[in-house]
Amino acid sequence: MKITSIAHSNIALIKFFGKSDNNLRIPTNNSLSMSLSAAVTMTTVEFSDNYPEDGIQMIGETLSEIEKNRIIRHLDRIRKIANKNLSAKVVTQNSFPKSTGIASSASGFAALTVAGTKAIGLDMSEKELSTLARLASGSACRSIPSGYVEWEKGNSHETSFAHSIYPPGYWDLRDLVVVVEKSPKKISTSAVHEMAKTSPFFVKRLTGMDEKIKCLKNAFDKKNFEMFGEIVEHEAFNMHAVMMTMNPPVIYWTPQTVEIIMGIHNLRAQKIPVYFTLDAGPNVHCICEGKYEKQILSYLKRMKNIQEIIVNHPGEGAYLSEGHLF
Ligand code: PMV
């Protein structure tokens, strides 16, 4: 049976960075995220004995052999759970450029998990889908639930999963993703997680983590945007400071990244409440309340060297779609 799923990418407000178990992708800390309404992957999967081998295609982009093999490894996990040895056809499409710090692996592997398990005849709960998606890409477990999400680090496969902490409508926030670079990053996040412990600041980062998460949840409860933004921006600087002090150091920023950050600080100096965060890439996620969207967009659009701005509201979790890609 042909099944299609749509999943949204997510932006980490508190980052997943560093793993306590590499194979199971168990993180060293809990993370918090917002689902991104406009950054979506659509994936159609069909298992059949008519297919001699797995066929993987991404519309509009070329997948490397490494990327194809990562998808096949996830199909293998699904086949193992279902105890079925059928090859699959997978066709997938992103609404945004992959591997540029907009978490295409999160939406990609969440969509593959939901479509793939259903297509092979499995009926999994949200928690089971989240744990399974995590094995392919950590942040993908946060793209299964809806709205604002927490990934509990847990200490085993079954206990490390994400769940919704607030529905999308709880707080009308925006993530305006300023795309300054569309070419894929040179160092994958999988590699970077394994290097995290080489920074002398990694242990320090973890020491303050529980308190930071508590404070962010408090800001959520009070819908106190300034308190929220200060924590989110500090967290982004913190993770990138660890990345820049690893051995060898990794710098995802470009001169344009810094220009946008300075622009955001300039807006704040003019009493416009906007903060930024960054994943493992140069593109800047500008976080604001909905009522300031127009004002901030018109400022950002006047900045130089911007390729695109993707406007995101809090998005849904992964779901099944009637339309198919083949
Ligand atoms: O899920 P991965 O292995 O692509 O790691 C994601 C890491 C960050 O994007 C840097 C942070 C996060 O929590 O999404």
**Residue 135: in which H helix or E strand, if any?**
helix 126-136
Single-letter code of the amino acid located at 218: N
Q: Which residues of the chain register pLDDT less than 50?
A: none
Q: Please tell me the predicted confidence (pLDDT) of residue 239.
A: 98
Dihedral sign of CA atoms 109, 114, 119, 120 in order: positive
Residue 98 has a CB neighbour count (10 Å cut-off) of 21
Q: What angle do CA 254, 255, 257 make, to 5 degrees?
A: 65
Pocket test for ligand 1, best of 11, 13, 15 (most atoms within 8 A of CB): 15
Q: Please tell me the predicted confidence (pLDDT) of residue 184.
A: 73
What distance in angstroms lies between residue 84's CA and the mean position of ligand 1's atoms? 31
What distance in angstroms lies between residue 85's CA and the mean position of ligand 1's atoms? 31
Using CA atoms, how far apart are residues 13 and 232, in angstroms rounded to an integer? 5
The residue whose CA has the least distance to atom 8 of ligand 1 is 279
Q: Please tell me the predicted confidence (pLDDT) of residue 286.
A: 98
Pocket test for ligand 1, best of 15, 22, 139, 192 (most atoms within 8 A of CB): 139
> Per residue in 62-90, pLDDT tens?
899 999 999 999 999 999 999 999 999 99
Q: What angle do CA 321, 323, 324 make, to 5 degrees?
A: 105
Backbone angles phi, psi at 182, to 5 degrees: -105, -10
Reference 257, options 232, 283, 237; nearest CA is 283
Q: Please tell me the predicted confidence (pLDDT) of residue 122.
A: 98
Q: Cα torsion for 102, 116, 64, 251, to the nearest 10°?
A: 30
- CA of 190, closest atom in ligand 1: 3
Query: Can you say how many angstroms the Cα of residue 122 is from the centroid of all Cα atoms in its chain?
Result: 25
For the residues of 207-235, what is the DSSP string, one character each? HTHHHHHHHHHHHHHHT-HHHHHHHHHHH
> Quick check: CB of 189 below 6 Å from ligand 1?
yes
Q: Please tell me the predicted confidence (pLDDT) of residue 104.
A: 84
User: Domains in the chain and their CATH numbers?
Assistant: 2-169 (3.30.230.10), 170-312 (3.30.70.890)
Using CA atoms, how far apart are residues 1 and 86, in angstroms rounded to an integer? 12
What distance in angstroms lies between residue 138's CA and the mean position of ligand 1's atoms? 7
Q: Are 115 and 5 in contact (CB under 8 A)?
A: yes
What distance in angstroms lies between residue 3's CA and the mean position of ligand 1's atoms? 27
Q: Please tell me the predicted confidence (pLDDT) of residue 69.
A: 96
Using CA atoms, how far apart are residues 39 and 95, in angstroms rounded to an integer? 6
Q: Are 212 and 14 in contact (CB under 8 A)?
A: yes
Q: Please tell me the predicted confidence (pLDDT) of residue 99.
A: 62
Dihedral sign of CA atoms 91, 177, 148, 236 in order: positive
Largest CA distance in the chain: 63
> Per residue in 240-270, pLDDT tens?
999 999 999 999 999 999 999 999 999 999 9
* 50 half-sphere exposure, CB direction, 13 A CA radius: 5
Q: Are 71 and 98 in contact (CB under 8 A)?
A: no
Using CA atoms, how far apart are residues 318 and 9, in angstroms rounded to an integer? 10
What distance in angstroms lies between residue 1's CA and the mean position of ligand 1's atoms? 32
- CA of 105, closest atom in ligand 1: 4
Reference 283, options 176, 148, 174, 141; nearest CA is 176
DSSP, collapsed to helix, strand or coil, labels residue 300 as helix
Helix axes 126-136, 104-119, angle to 10 degrees: 120
Q: Please tell me the predicted confidence (pLDDT) of residue 223.
A: 98
> Quick check: CB of 36 below 6 Å from ligand 1?
no
What distance in angstroms lies between residue 36's CA and the mean position of ligand 1's atoms? 14
The residue whose CA has the least distance to atom 6 of ligand 1 is 139
